[in-house]
Amino acid sequence: MTRAISWLRKSYGDDVLGLLAFLCVVIVGFSLATPRFLTFANFDSMAFQLPVLGLLTLAMLAPIISGGLNLAIIYTANMSGLTLAWILNINGGVEAGPAAFALGVVAALAVGTFAGLVMGLIVAYVGAHPILVSLAMMIFLRGLGEFLTRGGDISGFPEYLRPIGHGVFLGIPVPMLLFLAVALIWHVLLRRARHGFAVYMIGSNIAATTYSGVHSRRTLTLIYTLSGFICALAGILMLTRFNSVRVGHGEALLLVTVLACFLGGVDPFGGFGRVVPVVIALFILQVLSSGLNLLGANQHLSTAVWGLFLIAVMVIRYLVANQRIFGKGKGT
């Protein structure tokens, strides 16, 4: 047990231990509050609900680490889903074959990746602030989607898509397997690859990074391109989960992705953040949401609780940072 704790602290920092402890406290608290919490049905429901938010959070993670932000993740995902839905509909809707689905997936991934590429090029080569660029892209995608769909839903898809959004493999929901696979790849990319090292350097000091010989513009472009790609995966998953697509699907999740990143120890000013603590933070938020729902609270209360968590995280970080500063001052 001691070795495991030491390994976790060495590999992922003290944040992971604190988050795991808090996750255990929340689980124990809700299990005592309602007998329905520690049931297979509840955990199965959480495992199906979390992946969409999880993928969108991973799409937000790298831009924040680099010192930026991607406000367009929701509408990038929805436009990708709309692209897949459109290709399925023109090929027969519920009668569309696997070839149409494969073509639609490629097109959806291309749309999401292209949206991220455009943002990355503007941020990297024009020098515009990521918040303004992603806000402009968000407005553009939302307006385009509303124009194409007239604000309505697109539904009626083949039955063979159901296992992607609702299926189980080896006892684990397929959406959760997809999320964990992407999280693992993202973790390796950020912690082991040269691109990940450049992302952290840019978030710490982009000017120094450029002078050190790192191609910062190329890295920034790739950051938002990959973010758009992950958004497209989320859009495809949303289509298979809900069996419909709409421009406004998941609008409330935007700020929750930012909350999950900050709760997971990501520095809002860039330069620091890990995938594993963010994944644990996502489980905490999902447990809170499901537990409050079982207690009869409405979704608005869950949103309020998430907001309080964000405030609490900022206060705790401020107190810890001050303690470290004053602690060093006393030592000297």
Instruction: Kindly tell me the burial class for residue 119, based on how many C-beta atoms sit within 10 Å of its own C-beta (0-12, 13-18, 19 or more).
Output: buried
Q: Is 248 helix (H, G, I), strand (E, B) or coil?
A: coil
Rounded Cα distance, 324 and 319, in Å: 9
β-pairing, 168-169 vs 172-173, is antiparallel
Query: Cα-Cα-Cα-Cα dihedral of 132, 306, 240, 89, to 10°?
Result: -40
**pLDDT for 178:** 94
Check residue 227 and report its DSSP letter.
H
Quick one: pLDDT at residue 271?
87
pLDDT of residue 156: 82
Question: Is the distance from CB of 99 to CB of 78 less than 8 angstroms?
Answer: no
- Give me the pLDDT at residue 114, please: 97
pLDDT, one tens digit per residue, over 174-194 is: 999 999 999 999 999 998 888
Angle between helices 299-331 and 253-263 (to 10 degrees): 30
pLDDT of residue 332: 47
8 A C-beta contact, residue 235 and residue 77? yes
Q: Helix-strand-coil percent breakdown of the chain, rounded to 5?
A: 80, 0, 20
Domain ranges of the chain: 50-251+266-276
Q: How far apart are CA 269 and CA 290, in angstroms?
A: 31
pLDDT tens sequence for the chain (332 residues): 566 666 666 666 667 888 888 889 889 999 988 888 888 888 888 999 999 999 999 999 999 999 999 999 999 999 999 999 999 988 887 888 899 999 999 999 999 999 999 999 999 999 899 999 999 999 999 999 988 888 788 888 888 888 998 999 888 899 999 999 999 999 999 988 888 899 999 998 888 888 888 889 999 999 999 999 999 999 999 999 888 888 888 888 888 899 899 888 898 888 888 999 999 999 998 998 888 888 877 767 777 777 787 787 777 777 766 665 555 555 54
| CB atoms inside a 10 Å sphere around CB 267 | 17
45-84 tens-digit pLDDT? 899 999 999 999 999 999 999 999 999 999 999 999 999 9
pLDDT at residue 12, as a whole number = 64
H or E, element range at 102: helix 98-121
* CB-count exposure of residue 313 (10 Å: 0-12, 13-18, 19+): middle
Please give the pLDDT value at position 328.
Answer: 56
β-partners of residue 169 are 172
* Residue from 43, 35, 73, 72 nearest 56 by CA: 73
